Amino acid sequence: MYQANEDRYNSMSYRRCGKSGLVLPPISLGLWHNFGDVDVLDNGKQMLHTAFDNGITHFDLANNYGPPPGSAESNFGKILKSSFLPYRDELIISTKAGYGMWSGPYGDWGSKKYLVSSLNQSLKRMGLEYVDIFYHHRPDPDTPLEETMSALDLIVKQGKALYVGLSNYNAEDTLKAVKILKALGTPCLIHQPRYSMFDRWAEDGLLDVLETEGVGAIAFSPLAQGLLTDKYIKGIPEHSRAAKATGFLQKETVTQEVIQKVIKLNTIAKKRNQSLAQMAVAWLLKDDRITSVLVGVSSEKQLIDNLGALNNLEFSASELEVIELVLKG
């Protein structure tokens, strides 16, 4: 029987999520990869134990994580039952709906029908009565924003989620959605954008909207799915995400141009006595608008490496300048 480390809260300092009452760990764990039926359950269990033992209280899922879709939630449900039920009130568990999940017209996008049905399915798969955060996973160009937001509001009022969030919404649509949610009495807790040194669209307005509206931000794919580590410097290792048939990182993304930047960033990280993964996480956390950085890992070792980022979140002006120069190429 799993017994959580008694010292788990001693060294983590939590960050307030926007202007809400909720705090989150600066590093959270995502279950997009490595928790499906194609993966080894015991490895997933070990990573979740290590995360919680180190003060990571937030685990992020979605209806479609796997493969096959739904299996990450089912596997998480098994681990929750065997290890985490005594700790349920210490955990922030999120899930999402917005991408294709089942056949027919009601298993995708942003209708009230889809969102409510999908969350019911997610709760069953995880064996939960409620999730802490429910996200609309991506904007739907065809469903009125009012309908999607009122579905989120309904879900909270039904007690199936405590908070709601948005993911992949641009700045303009985020502002509209946040205002609708506010009027409904269910404030938007958090936004989940893709954000890393290699992908900075969130800096073009979104982070400003979130700050002004008091909404938190959790950055996904902070290591650009593994590119912002030293693992691809000498080619594509077997078992890496880029090598796996089920991985979302395409081999073609690992170009010489990218690797040249990675080599230079790795040198800067070394001078800071950090791994490149640690520097990539720290670089996001230097901005206090970022509530949490949502990493994925395929081993306990990677998770421990990433946690080491928290030992040095400070950057000198000259370090930031050199990083900018490298990123601009």
The two tokens of residue 281 are 């996480």
Query: What is the x/- site pattern for ligand NAP, positions 116-135, by CB under 6 A?
Result: --------------------
The DSSP result for 261-316, as a single string, is HHHHHHHHHHHTT--HHHHHHHHHHTSTT--EEEE--SSHHHHHHHHGGGG-----
Residue 222 near ligand NAP by CB under 6 A: yes
Residue 198 near ligand NAP by CB under 6 A: no
Q: Select from 306, 296, 292, 317 the least CA-distant residue to 189.
A: 292
In the window 133-162, what residues touch ligand NAP (CB under 6 A)?
A: 137
**Which residue in the set 71, 174, 186, 225 belongs to the binding site for ligand NAP (CB under 6 A)?**
225
Residue in the block written with tokens 């580590």: 229
CB of 3 to ligand NAP, least distance (A): 26
The count of other CB atoms within 10 Å of the CB of residue 327 is 14
Residue 163 near ligand NAP by CB under 6 A: no
Residue 241 near ligand NAP by CB under 6 A: yes
Residue 240 near ligand NAP by CB under 6 A: yes
**Which residue in the set 229, 266, 291, 292 belongs to the binding site for ligand NAP (CB under 6 A)?**
229
**Which residue in the set 17, 209, 265, 294 belongs to the binding site for ligand NAP (CB under 6 A)?**
294
Residue 197 near ligand NAP by CB under 6 A: no
**Which amino acid type is present at position 29?**
L
Specify the residue, 174 or 183, whose C-beta has the smaller distance to ligand NAP. 174
**Which residue in the set 169, 195, 220, 283 belongs to the binding site for ligand NAP (CB under 6 A)?**
220
CA angle 313, 267, 264 (to 5 degrees): 105
DSSP state of 229: S
CB of 318 to ligand NAP, least distance (A): 25
Residue in the block written with tokens 């080491």: 308
Name the one range near ligand NAP by CB under 6 A: 111-119, 150-158, 198-206, 217-225: 217-225
Instruction: Give helix then strand counts, H and E, for the chain.
Output: 10, 10
The two tokens of residue 275 are 């791994």
Q: Are 111 and 77 in contact (CB under 8 A)?
A: no
Residues that bind ligand NAP (CB under 6 A): 30-33, 60, 137, 167-168, 192, 220-226, 229, 231, 240-241, 277, 294-298, 302, 305-306
